[in-house]
Amino acid sequence: MLNTDSNSKNINVFMYKFWSDFSESKVAVISLLILIAIVLIAIFAPLISPSDPYDLSKVSIMDSRLPPMAKNFAGDIFILGTDGAGRDMLSAIFYGLRVSLGVGVMSAIFALIIGTIFGISAAFFGGKYETFIMRIVDIQLSFPSILMALIILAAFGKGIEKTIIALVLVQWAYYARTARAAALVERSKEYVEAAQCLALGNKKIMFNHILPNCMPSLIVVGTLQTAHAISLEATLSFLGLGLPITEPSLGLLIGNGFQYMHTGDFWISIFPGVALLITIVSINLVGDQLRDMYNPRLKK
Amino acid sequence: METILEIKNLKTHFFTKAGLIKAVDDISFKIKKGEIVGLVGESGSGKSITGFSIIGLIDAPGRIVSGSINFKNEPLLNASSNRMQSLRGNRLAMIFQDPMMTLNPVLRIDTQMIETIKAHDKNISNQEAFRRCRDTLGLVGISSPEERMKAYPHQFSGGMRQRVCIAIAMLNKPDLIIADEPTTALDVTIQGQVIYEMQELCKKTGTALLWITHDLAVVAGIASKICVMYAGRIVEQGSVDDIINKPMHPYTIGLIKSVPSQNKRGEPLHQIEGMVPSMLELPIGCAFHDRCTETIEKCKIEKPIETNQSDSRVIRCFNFKDIRK
Amino acid sequence: MTDILKVLQVSKNFVKPIDIASKVVNMFGNFYNQEVVHAVDNVSFNVTSGEVVGVVGESGCGKSTLGRMIAGILPLTSGKLDFHDQHYSGFDEGNYKHNSHIDLKIQMIFQDPFSSLNPRQKIIDIISEAPIHHKLISKKDKKYFVKDILNKVGLGTDAMDRFPHQFSGGQRQRIGIARALAVSPEFIVCDESIAALDVSIQAQVINLFLKLRQDLNLTYLFISHDIGVIQHIADRVVVMYLGQIVETASSDEIFSHPNHPYTKALLQGVPTLDTKKKIYTPIKGEIPSPINPPSGCYFHPRCKFSTNKCITDKPSYKEVSPNHFSACHLNS
């Protein structure tokens, strides 16, 4: 079937096809829009927050624990209320989104890189090397991820870098397994044999030929794992491990606000929780649609 | 002789996101009792869709748009799904290219065969059903059928599996079997066996056979009539002797001439120029005109209609050479 | 005429490793044998420069495995391969084609037009990647080079910036041929290269093969199960059964005077355009499993002429007439 598209239209053809498949699910489209909004909020948090909740000069204990839509003496309105120290909840949530998303995405990207390298090389070289890597992957995947993260953080202490490292160590195995499965499928295809016949060298074959064709599965796993990473980090922060108080993520906000639940100041804990929920659910819904799109058996 | 199947002006179209695909576009042919008819065409010609249309396996986004399919004078198109279910596997059976489309990998062969019998005859006893299965397996050339029946599909080789599928198709002594590329995936020597067995079976039981294939040579030996399809239409049909030895449609002529055995060894083969058009972008006029050596102006604007040359010979072309003159 | 390729007693075994449970049981005296598949068993033949050698056989005969060993993408278990009298076999697992002299001289064209091209590469990159990698051409000559090659295989230059899924099966095979030609090979292994194509396209691709052979002085090893095509295109024919060569002869000779019973059965069983109602006398039995081949002559369970000797002794591969070899006890 000869298409009459020219070079510049090729990209458009791919994008058009991607969008027409993706938009078959209205739920996924709405989730994607929400997700885009969340990402924009996270990026532009300093610009769009009503106030900077971590500027100690602006925060006053006099404003603490005001309910949603309350005004303080100066007439500033706090749409989602304030927390125990007087910080505006809405701004805290915006900044918190930044941290949560940032940590989640960064750890996912590093885990993706490490996991993909091991997974693809395991599939390509096979033999004892593959067995060795995959046994480590299996052992790691049989541990509950929270337990593993807790142990690592308990050993190394708090901090944003240490949290990211812990999340990467917990997650790389998922990527390795997915990458290996996808690479095994590609490895048996004849274009890989052709590349070997042309003596292109192992590195080139793995990364220029096999890897690009594994991207669809990796993107799906990456999306869903990012949601998992965000929720993992939130759990760790809620428990008091993970991120320090100077860089509060949504988890930390929920954790800090928990003590106020008994006195009825629910908004300090619940609103960050809702924000976290919306983030994770929308990422998962987008990831689900991506997975259905790339599942060949569902195609008619 | 009694007509088992009569198809008139059948159109099966697929309404896809990418566009309308006229997979089968106005075909007509007949099959008589005990006759073996070959339906020959390349990929995209619509031959498999024809088979699925007859047996009623066309799913969305496809639909039979118009025409009629009469099975022993009973119209099938508007038959209720219950009626179709009682016909399928019973009076009308199908064999697919891949035996694993028929066989369930987790069930034993005897379970699957007895199930087929009992679905259409609830009163039959288990022993009687078992006996019939065993006899049919023997009929298709499987030795020691009683033991082999207890096996699972994966314990058979490809050729054996296909024989089991043929046996399942024959269990209820159908009037018509539709075979969609049944030997394409088999080795040459096994293919020979299966062709031979099907030929014998049809002779013995009087079952009619519609053999769908891309390989003219396979049906040349056993069919009595051949229909050649291109881009959803039958371009030529007639007795096997007429089609193979005296073809008149340029496509049929091209197909036969390009077979290596028809060419001098080592010389370039006669080839049909160009490619099969995409079903989404069929040319105006005759679908074959841009590859045809006999094109005239009319071919580029109008679609040819079928013309009857004699009782069984039909040809769809504006400019064929009538070689009988 | 020189021999461009010498295949000397080449064998390939695939071994299914014993798992841990069976290893443990073995230690207690029980004996689980390793399952060994003799995919290719002691195969020897020569190919003359400019020749087309057709390898024909059914599933399990090992022709694809043999083709891949010759193309250098599968290591041998034993035996030798010589190209222009230079030894080039003995690759390590995972380190194929390290002998740079013949790296690119032997190329392969694959069976499946849909999986033999990287779906994410543009045609121009598919074809030019290897020559650029091996410094045969410079990056700036890419376009002219690819244009020239596409021309040779009958494709237009507008194909360059497209992706494989935009082409039909026949066109993709041409792209695969172009990719192989881009490194100026002398010897091409065609592994069922036309099996997946429509009949009317097969003729086009076969003609392309013949033309390229003439224009570029190529030598082919043409692997196919389609005897009609082999008869048309091959100068010599090698018939394989269950990993062994059963007969070799020139094309004319083997089709007019087949010697081995398997060859005879194979030729007889091929459907032809002969409309006289053929009574098929098919060969009985199934192709045996390569894990458990029959004793003596592998073909004896299905052979009309088998004798007691065939059950016990392996037939020797002998010359039965000039340049016509066959492995059958009936010849002694």
User: For tokens 């505006």, what's the residue?
Assistant: A88
In this predicted model, what pLDDT tens digit does every residue of B31-51 receive, in sequence order?
999 999 999 998 888 899 999
User: For tokens 């160009």, what's the residue?
Assistant: B274
- Decide the pairing of beta strands C35-48 and B3-16: unpaired
Distance CA B236, CA B229 (A): 7
pLDDT of C239 above 80: yes
Q: Which sign does the torsion angle of CA A57, A62, A66, A70 carry?
A: negative
Neighbours of chain A (3+ CB pairs under 8 A): B, C
Look at residues B258, B249, B208, B209 and name the one whose alpha carbon lies nearest to residue B229: B249
Contact (CB<8Å) B271/C278: no
Q: Is B79 exposed, middle or buried (0-12, 13-18, 19+ CB in 10 A)?
A: middle
Which pLDDT score is estimated for A200? 87
Which pLDDT score is estimated for B170? 87
In a mutational test of the B interface, the residue from C199, C236, C278, C289 whose CB has the highest number of chain B CBs within 10 Å is C199
Distance CA B101, CA B98 (A): 6
Share of chain B above pLDDT 90, in %: 30
Distance CA A133, CA C214 (A): 51
Which pLDDT score is estimated for A300? 40
Task: List beta partners, residue C171.
Answer: none
C251 in B contact zone (CB under 8 Å):
yes
Contacts of C116 in chain A (CB under 8 A): 189-191, 193-194
Q: CA of C202: how far to CAs of A235, B268, B282, in Å? A: 62, 12, 22
Contact (CB<8Å) A190/C110: yes
- Nearest CA of chain C to the CA of B121: how many Å? 34
Band of pLDDT at residue A276, cut at 50, 70 and 90? very high
Distance CA A65, CA A93 (A): 15
Strand (E) or helix (H) holding C145: helix C142-152
Share of chain C above pLDDT 70, in %: 92
Look at residues A278, A277, A257 and name the one whose alpha carbon lies nearest to residue A266: A257
Which pLDDT score is estimated for C93? 46
How distant is the alpha carbon of residue C64 from its chain centre? 5
Reported residue count of chain C is 332
Distance CA C76, CA A27 (A): 55
- Nearest CA of chain C to the CA of A199: how many Å? 6
- Nearest CA of chain B to the CA of C272: how many Å? 5
Look at residues C281, C267, C228, C278 and name the one whose alpha carbon lies nearest to residue B36: C278
- Nearest CA of chain C to the CA of B277: how many Å? 10
Task: Write the DSSP string, A131-146.
Answer: HHHHHHHHHHHHS-HH
Q: CB-CB: which of B189, B193, B265 is closest to C232?
A: B265
Contacts of A300 in chain B (CB under 8 A): 61
Contact (CB<8Å) B278/A300: no
pLDDT of C97 above 60: no
B34 in C contact zone (CB under 8 Å):
no
A126 in C contact zone (CB under 8 Å):
yes
Contacts of B270 in chain C (CB under 8 A): 203
Q: CB-CB: which of C252, C273, C287 is closest to B220?
A: C273
Distance CA B141, CA B268 (A): 41
Look at residues B117, B151, B157, B152 and name the one whose alpha carbon lies nearest to residue B133: B117
Which pLDDT score is estimated for C126? 93
Which pLDDT score is estimated for A6? 41
Look at residues B78, B113, B74 and name the one whose alpha carbon lies nearest to residue B91: B74
Distance CA A65, CA A264 (A): 10
Band of pLDDT at residue B24, cut at 50, 70 and 90? very high
Contact (CB<8Å) A1/B280: yes
In a mutational test of the B interface, the residue from C111, C171, C198, C226 whose CB has the highest number of chain B CBs within 10 Å is C198
| Maximal C-alpha separation, chain B | 67
Contact (CB<8Å) B188/C58: yes
**Summary mean pLDDT of chain C:** 86
Evaluate the omega torsion of the peptide bond into residue B277 and state whether it is cis, within 30 degrees of 0: no
Q: CA of B162: how far to CAs of B126, B143, B186, C147, C282, in Å? A: 24, 15, 9, 47, 16
- Nearest CA of chain C to the CA of A153: how many Å? 37
Which pLDDT score is estimated for A161? 87
Contacts of A191 in chain C (CB under 8 A): 115-118
How many cross-chain Cβ pairs, A to C, lie less than 8 Å apart?
80
For residue A43, the tally of other CB atoms under 10 A from its CB is 14
In SS3 terms, A57-123 reads as CCCCHHHCCCCCCEECCCCCEECCCECCCCCEHHHHHHHHHHHHHHHHHHHHHHHHHHHHHHHHHHH
- Nearest CA of chain A to the CA of B210: how many Å? 27
Distance CA C10, CA C234 (A): 22
Strand (E) or helix (H) holding C83: strand C78-83
Look at residues B268, B227, B269 and name the one whose alpha carbon lies nearest to residue B251: B227
For residue C71, the tally of other CB atoms under 10 A from its CB is 25
C30 against A124, higher pLDDT: A124
Q: CA of A72: how far to CAs of A34, A75, A81, A83, A131, in Å? A: 31, 5, 10, 13, 64
pLDDT of A42 above 80: yes
Which pLDDT score is estimated for C101? 58
Q: What mean pLDDT do residues B269-281 have?
A: 85
Contact (CB<8Å) C273/B261: yes
Q: Tell me the residue ranges of DSSP E strands in B42-186.
A: 62-71, 74-75, 92-95, 176-180
- Helix ranges, A143-294 (H): 145-156, 160-187, 190-197, 202-204, 211-238, 250-258, 267-293
Which pLDDT score is estimated for C90? 47
In this predicted model, what pLDDT tens digit does every residue of C301-328 receive, in sequence order?
888 888 888 888 888 888 888 889 999 8
Which pLDDT score is estimated for A297? 55
In SS3 terms, B94-134 reads as EECCCHHHCCCCCCCHHHHHHHHHHHHCCCCCHHHHHHHHH
Interface subset of C 51-110, CB within 8 angstroms of A: 68, 71-73, 93-94, 96-97, 100, 103-104, 107-108, 110
Which pLDDT score is estimated for A183? 93
B262 in C contact zone (CB under 8 Å):
yes
Asked if residue C49 lies in contact with residue C6, where contact means CB atoms within 8 angstroms, the answer is no
Asked if residue C71 lies in contact with residue C83, where contact means CB atoms within 8 angstroms, the answer is no
User: For tokens 């993520």, what's the residue?
Assistant: A249
Task: Write the DSSP string, C101-121.
Answer: TTTTTEEEE-S-TTTSS-TTS
Which pLDDT score is estimated for A58? 73
Token reading at C119? 């779906």
Contacts of B280 in chain A (CB under 8 A): 1
For residue C34, the tally of other CB atoms under 10 A from its CB is 10
Asked if residue C297 lies in contact with residue C41, where contact means CB atoms within 8 angstroms, the answer is no
Distance CA B109, CA B102 (A): 11
Reported residue count of chain A is 300
Which pLDDT score is estimated for C206? 92
Contact (CB<8Å) A300/B280: no
Contact (CB<8Å) A1/B61: no
Interface subset of A 214-273, CB within 8 angstroms of C: none
Band of pLDDT at residue B325, cut at 50, 70 and 90? low
In a mutational test of the A interface, the residue from B17, B58, B59, B280 whose CB has the highest number of chain A CBs within 10 Å is B17
Instruction: For chain C, count helices (H), then strands (E).
Output: 10, 12
Asked if residue A42 lies in contact with residue A25, where contact means CB atoms within 8 angstroms, the answer is no
CATH number for the domain running over C3-120+163-263: 3.40.50.300
Which pLDDT score is estimated for A1? 34
Contacts of A4 in chain B (CB under 8 A): none
How distant is the alpha carbon of residue A170 from its chain centre? 13
C277 in B contact zone (CB under 8 Å):
yes
Neighbours of chain C (3+ CB pairs under 8 A): A, B
Asked if residue B178 lies in contact with residue B205, where contact means CB atoms within 8 angstroms, the answer is no
**Summary mean pLDDT of chain B:** 88
Asked if residue A268 lies in contact with residue A84, where contact means CB atoms within 8 angstroms, the answer is yes
Contact (CB<8Å) A20/B17: yes
Contact (CB<8Å) C73/A197: yes
B285 against C269, higher pLDDT: B285
Q: CB-CB: which of C110, C112, C118 is closest to A209?
A: C118
In this predicted model, what pLDDT tens digit does every residue of B49-81 receive, in sequence order?
999 999 988 888 888 999 999 998 889 888 888
Residue type present at position B121: D
Neighbours of chain B (3+ CB pairs under 8 A): A, C
Share of chain A above pLDDT 90, in %: 34
Which pLDDT score is estimated for B95? 92
C167 in A contact zone (CB under 8 Å):
yes
Look at residues B94, B96, B235 and name the one whose alpha carbon lies nearest to residue B177: B94
Rounded to 10 deg, the angle between the B109-120 and B126-139 helix axes is: 110
